[in-house]
Chains A and B, each alone.
Chain A
Amino acid sequence: MTELPLIGEAVAVAAEPRLAGARIGVVTFPGTLDDRDAARAVRLAGATAVELWHGDTELGDVDAVVIPGGFSYGDYLRAGAIARFAPLMSKIIDAANSDAKLPVLGICNGFQILTESHLLPGSMIKNDHLKFLCRDQVLRVENTNTAWTLDYQAGQEITIPLKNQDGQYIADEKTLDALEAEGRVVFRYVGFNPNGSRRDIAGISNAAGNVVGLMPHPEHAVEPGFGPESLDGIGGSDTDGLGFFTSVLNKIVGGDK
């Protein structure tokens, strides 16, 4: 499977029935903010977006899951700490760890939920400058073998929005060394580390590569005119995030790269 339509129109009615047959779930918790955006990104890539509710006890018929950004449960206690106990999360954890290796993408608060769920190692603490920061951020794609990065070139630099208050990725040195050694650092901040993350890490994967989490927001860079606009001359296209969603679609529809 090599060719995929990169549909950039405002509304992508899935042109190809074969792609539209792929069902990607988007989870909503109380306090989730970017669920509609994630669903839009799924549709723009050509797949069918399926609304998933945190209280559901069955995952249903989905081929992949996106845990979108926001402030689930108001980030009270600790970002992601409460959401991790939602009934649906235990189903997602099981499916991600099963032989079927359900592809799971955690964006921002979703990444925080994945670390709280122990699907991914490490944790996020408050940004080193202690403020919420919204900016267009350059990332380097370090691993193109995960379910969510197949469509990128190794070392490719992409620009997608970053917006968070608790985005500083931390883990002990041993874990960080292991992540590096196993190629599980999937994205690194380039040019500017916006939050003090260890080793400029912006996103990581599990060992199997089906579970990926990152702090920046690919779902906000999928449509011309609504993505990053190189406010400070950093360049890049404003649809760099679409590759996440076409990658997983590629994986679902066409098998492994």
Chain B
Amino acid sequence: MTTETTKKFNIDAVENAAKTPDTELPWAELGLKQNEFDEIVKVLGRRPTGAELAMYSVMWSEHCSYKSSKNHLRQFGQKVTEEMKKDMLVGIGENAGVTNLGDGWAVTFKIESHNSPSFVEPYQGAATGIGGIVRDIISMGARPVAVMDPLRFGAIDHPDTARVMHGAVAGIGGYGNSLGLPNIGGEMVFDSVYQGNPLVNALAVGVMRHEDIRLANASGKGNKVVLFGARTGGDGIGGASVLASESFDDTKPSKRPAVQVGDPFAEKVLIECCLELFKGSLVEGIQDLGAAGISCATSELASNGDGGMQVELTSVLLRDPTLTPGEILMSESQERMMAVVTPENVKAFEAVMDKWAVEYSWLGEVTDTGRLIITWEGDVIVDVDPRTVAHDGPVYDRPFARPEWQDSVQADTFTGSVQDAGRPSAPAELAAAVTELVASPNMCSKAWITNQYDRYVGGNTSMAFPDDAGVVRVDEESGLGVALATDANGRYTYLDPYHGAQLALAEAYRNVATAGAVPMAVSDCLNFGSPEDPDVMWQLAEAIRGLSDACMVLGIPVTGGNVSLYNQTGTTPIHPSPVVAVLGKLDDVARRTPSGWREDGQAIYLLGTTGAELDGSEWANMRGHLGGQPPKVDLEAERALGEILINASRDGMIDAAHDLSEGGLAAALVESSLRYGVGARIALQDVMDRDGVDLFTALFSESQGRAIVGVPRSEEVRFTDMCTARGFAHTRIGVVDADSGKLEINGVEGLSLDALREAHEGTLPKYFG
């Protein structure tokens, strides 16, 4: 160690590290394993300095390196056809993938997790989840235009659920609403498997002109490296390595300081400031600072560039002057960006910073050495090949095997089980069952949450919750827009990870098509337990295999996403929860199809066929049963259904469409009626006769590839002709009744819309006030 007393710290310089090979380093506390530390020593040819150790520990964490999932994730890049590539402008690997929308427009979107921080500190965890994903979108050169939040919490009546839920929802609102980004959808699931490990995922979507696409690389010797935005503080240190890559343990001290603290105002200013930089073509490369902070930004920019980078770390503006070099490198302080600027553009860059009153500091420059060199008052504290930090982390072939319990779980079917006793059949029982379903925690109205989010800001929101997909306009002149939906069903995936993941994709695809949009791209957030558990690793491997296979069939590529592992409480993993986001395109958002009917006398059709598929269903869940096989996946049928819904929307053949998923036909009929407060008269005899199911099954089965649509009388012939020509099952099941104020289903006691609304909307306020 250096002994110069003028230095603020005893700096562990590279020179010193070479001389003191036996110095004990806290690699284990930073989350590294023995073999990983040995590998670092091998790569460097000496022990790492304290600063280098900090960098490697965060960059080689599960969260940043994907070391357990990388070998499996490759399939997303391999199972890709030419058709799938044609609209992909930027693929996996960058901050977010970019898809061509036509007319010179491009769209970028990505979904990420912020699960662990949101359990420790729900408000800040959820808030900074939004902040991080939005910066990923800006880093691509895009203007962010909307956000969505798939959320999964513990049991609705558990005392801790309110803490997490209130905090997360307030955090998403508090941060997102302040950014001027409409929140256009998401999900909310309650299940005790998420009790000690909620899932707070965040999606952002942005748009840009083709020529504005920016990539994260530092090229061009002599170009300047600048850090701008908020100052670097002591928050979030080791967030990626410590928090996201390890399960919680009651015996260790609180990890609260590892959670970042967000400042949405700083983020909003940063967004505008970056967009002005892009407009003036003032940056060569740009990278947001998220997980692993400066360690990640410098090593990724340098390793993606054509040379090296030299940075003086004391130039970093600090919120807390006592931070050590290692802490500065690891800090996950929010609202920061790093950019590469040519010397000619320095003045113009500074003018933009000054206009928006954003702080910045020039840290160093791009070199041609191929090395990432970081100095502290001139002493070299990091001297590495940036690729070894950013890209050449360890990769594990974790052992996996089909769990022993999988067979017995799949054999335990709901029909005939103890929980199935007293299945409703009389009209009054069925009416009570429908009401109970739509009031249940997972099927109830989410308005209590979504009303805390701004869905209007921007003036381009064409559809939002509770419709099937969120729709935003991209081009005000042509009406060009995008539709987005996210879906996952942890119970299905638990029963069968391969097909469960496909079902999540199928549902998101169906939701987007139901809105009238052509599905184009996929982003996924794979939330799983510990990869060190072979059962969980098998779930992950199967889900990725299933998802990548299904993307091939549906012809839409995965353009980005995120893997979140170690989601478990103690040794109990969450249900495997691959959250799948599908993005679709609408040539004119005016053509989008809402989920509710309005016009009296319109015909209501059920598309698709219904089987006796209650395993894993909401009904079985309400009765406390989880076993059997999830609904069958038929991706060709999903594609055919999608084409019908898209064509019908484009050609004005339908006025309403709602997909059938959790809660089956019963939930869909209620939701479509409550959307605009307009009832319907329904008769399901034809469906029951054709598909050989009883009324209960017709209402509560969760068979896939189905949707209900509202068809104007004048379009009925054209619509049914199209379905017939395409050989797709379709049945007229009723008519819209604007006057009755009721949902009347033959064989079910009449349901007044007022009572249904009270049941549907009353649940969340009852539990959360």
Residues of A within 8 A of B (CB): 10-11, 30-31, 33-34, 36-37, 40, 70-71, 73-76, 131-135, 161, 163, 165, 217, 219-220, 222-223, 225-226, 229-233
Contacts and interface: CB of A to CB of B under 8 A. Distances in A.
Contacts of A34: 180, 457
Contacts of A134: 450-456
Contact of B265 (A40, A76, A163): A76
Given A33-B457, A134-B456, A161-B456, 17 more contacts: A10-B473, A10-B590, A31-B265, A36-B458, A71-B177, A71-B265, A71-B268, A74-B263, A74-B265, A74-B268, A132-B177, A132-B453, A134-B455, A163-B177, A163-B456, A226-B473, A231-B675
Interface stretch (B15-23, B230-238, B373-381, B459-467): B459-467
Given A132-B452, A226-B462, A33 B268 contact: yes
A10 B451 contact: no
Contacts of A10: 473, 476-477, 479, 590
A134 B516 CA distance: 26
Nearest to B466: A231
B265 A37 contact: no
A165 B451 CA distance: 11
Contacts of B479: 10
B142 to A, nearest CB: 16
Contacts of B497: none
Interface string B607-628: 0000000000000000000000
17 contacts: A34-B180, A71-B264, A74-B266, A74-B268, A132-B174, A134-B451, A134-B453, A135-B451, A163-B454, A163-B456, A163-B457, A223-B459, A225-B590, A226-B462, A226-B473, A229-B594, A233-B677
B48 interface: no
Contacts of A223: 459
A225 B265 contact: no
Nearest to A13: B477
B452 A226 contact: no
Interface of B: 170, 173-174, 177-180, 263-266, 268-269, 272, 356-357, 447, 450-462, 473, 476-477, 479, 589-590, 594, 675-677
Contacts of A226: 459-462, 473
B268 A31 contact: yes
Contacts of B676: 230, 233
Contacts of B174: 132
A11 to B, nearest CB: 5
A89 to B, nearest CB: 16
A30 B356 contact: yes
A232 B180 contact: no
Contacts of B454: 132, 134, 163
A31 B455 contact: no
Interface centre among A75, A165, A226 (most CB of B within 10 A): A226
Given A74-B178, A134-B451, A226-B462, A232 B677 contact: yes
A107 to B, nearest CB: 12
A34 to B, nearest CB: 6
Contact of A74 (B173, B264, B455, B457): B264
A161 B451 CA distance: 11
A70 B459 contact: no
A234 B230 CA distance: 44
B10 to A, nearest CB: 38
Nearest to A37: B459
Nearest to A223: B459
Enumerate the 4 nearest inter-chain pairs by beta-carbon distance, A residue then B residue, closest first: A74-B265, A33-B180, A233-B677, A37-B459
A222 B460 CA distance: 11
A226 B479 CA distance: 12
A232 B596 CA distance: 12
Nearest to B183: A134
Given A11-B476, A11-B477, A220-B459, A30 B452 contact: no
Nearest to A40: B459
Contacts of A165: 177
Given A30-B265, A30-B269, A74-B263, A225 B452 contact: no
Contacts of B264: 71, 74
A174 B457 CA distance: 36
A248 to B, nearest CB: 19
Contacts of A232: 677
Given A132-B452, A220-B456, A70 B180 contact: yes
A132 B166 CA distance: 12
Nearest to B460: A226
Contacts of A75: 178, 265
Contacts of A70: 180
A217 B457 CA distance: 10
Contacts of B357: 30
A46 to B, nearest CB: 16
Contacts of A231: 447, 675
Contact of B452 (A33, A73, A131, A161): A131
A219 B452 CA distance: 20
